[in-house]
Amino acid sequence: MKNKISIIGGGNMGTAILSGIQRKFAVSICEKDAKRGQYLKKKFKVAVDDVQSVVTKSGVIILAVKPQDFDQILAEVRPFINKDKLVISIAAGIPTLYIEKRLGAKVRVIRTMPNLPAQIGEGMTGICKGKWASSADLSLACKIFNNIGQTVIVEEKWIDAITAVSGSGPAYVFLFVECFIKAARALGFDEKQSKQLVAQTIHGSLNLLESQNEEAGVLRSRVTSKGGTTQAAMDVFFRRDIEGIFVEALTAAQHRAKQLSK
Ligand SMILES: NC(=O)c1ccc[n+]([C@@H]2O[C@H](COP(=O)([O-])OP(=O)(O)OC[C@H]3O[C@@H](n4cnc5c(N)ncnc54)[C@H](OP(=O)(O)O)[C@@H]3O)[C@@H](O)[C@H]2O)c1
């Protein structure tokens, strides 16, 4: 029999998870916004119901609401949670201990940190377990999140660092693309040409990296002949300490994740 999973919160992330897992699991969803609920019901042919119904019927409950709605959702699900249920949270900054305390004794909790490309099945999700969850629970969580990309199991102390690398990471990539396009425009290309030149360069380079089984540095050196054009650009990047900028930025993100943690 298919595992029964309920998703509470049908926003960006809840919908991404729903769309990835609906063919493999029996999924029901709970969504506060009735219009959105109807849309999800129609689009994905899933059961949309209230908290009590979806939690009672499911063995796995995925909490996919914003951190500011989290206390309320914990209070709502608490009466229907027991040790037979596995609770999976995707909320940023909310530790397993916080959830365990609010849901009562020995509740099995898994905490995850997915990222935005989950929306197209290309996500990267960090997964850790709370005190009462088992390694079988971790495996089940991986099985679920592998449907929206890749997963990595870590101890909870690493989740802030995961947030800094892969959680926030898509924004670093988008920033890089923005800067690259602006620089192409500064050389005189129009918007359309700049976008095409940059997008295909990035697409091709990433595919090359993936297919060649070589370190990025090795491939970079293949494009960079001594005293040539690429070298001139690399000299600017390194003079401005691109490596240092990355370390500083990721450290700041990790620090902020720690600060925001409940
Ligand atoms: N977006 C990302 O890149 C990302 C990455 C990693 C982790 N996360 C985590 O994922 C979680 C969800 O983020 P999101 O971007 O998907 O947020 P979102 O689009 O706002 O989705 C949350 C959904 O839950 C609904 N909701 C709120 N309270 C509810 C309740 N009591 N019962 C049922 N439904 C309820 C909201 O409805 P209303 O709009 O009507 O309130 C909304 O549709 C957050 O905790 C965030 O930290 C997000």
Amino acid letter at 66? K
Residue 64 within a domain: yes
Residue with CA at minimum distance from ligand 1 atom 32: 32
State the pLDDT at residue 2.
55
Q: Which domain holds residue 233?
A: 169-260
pTM of this structure? 0.92
One domain, residues 236 and 149:
no
State the pLDDT at residue 14.
97
Structure confidence by residue, pLDDT tens digits, 81-112: 999 999 999 999 999 999 999 998 799 999 99
Q: What is the CATH number of the domain that holds 118?
A: 3.40.50.720
Residue with tokens 């089984």: 213
Q: What is the number of H-type helices and E-type strands within the chain?
A: 12, 8
One domain, residues 57 and 79:
yes
CA distance 25 to 72: 27
DSSP assignment of 124-158: EEEEEE-SS--HHHHHHHHHHHGGGEEEEE--GGG
Judging by DSSP bridges, how do beta strands 60-63 and 47-48 pair with one another? unpaired
Residue with CA at minimum distance from ligand 1 atom 19: 11
Average pLDDT over residues 222-246: 97
One domain, residues 81 and 203:
no
Residue with CA at minimum distance from ligand 1 atom 21: 11
Structure confidence by residue, pLDDT tens digits, 13-64: 999 999 999 989 999 999 999 999 999 999 999 999 999 999 999 999 999 9
Structure confidence by residue, pLDDT tens digits, 126-171: 999 999 999 999 999 999 999 999 999 999 999 999 999 999 999 9
Candidate from 6, 7, 8, 13 with most ligand 1 atoms within 8 A of CB, to mutate: 13
Judged against a pLDDT cut of 60, whether residue 1 lies above it is answered with no
Pocket of ligand 1 (CB under 6 A): 8-14, 30-33, 36, 64-67, 69, 72-73, 76, 90-92, 113-116, 167
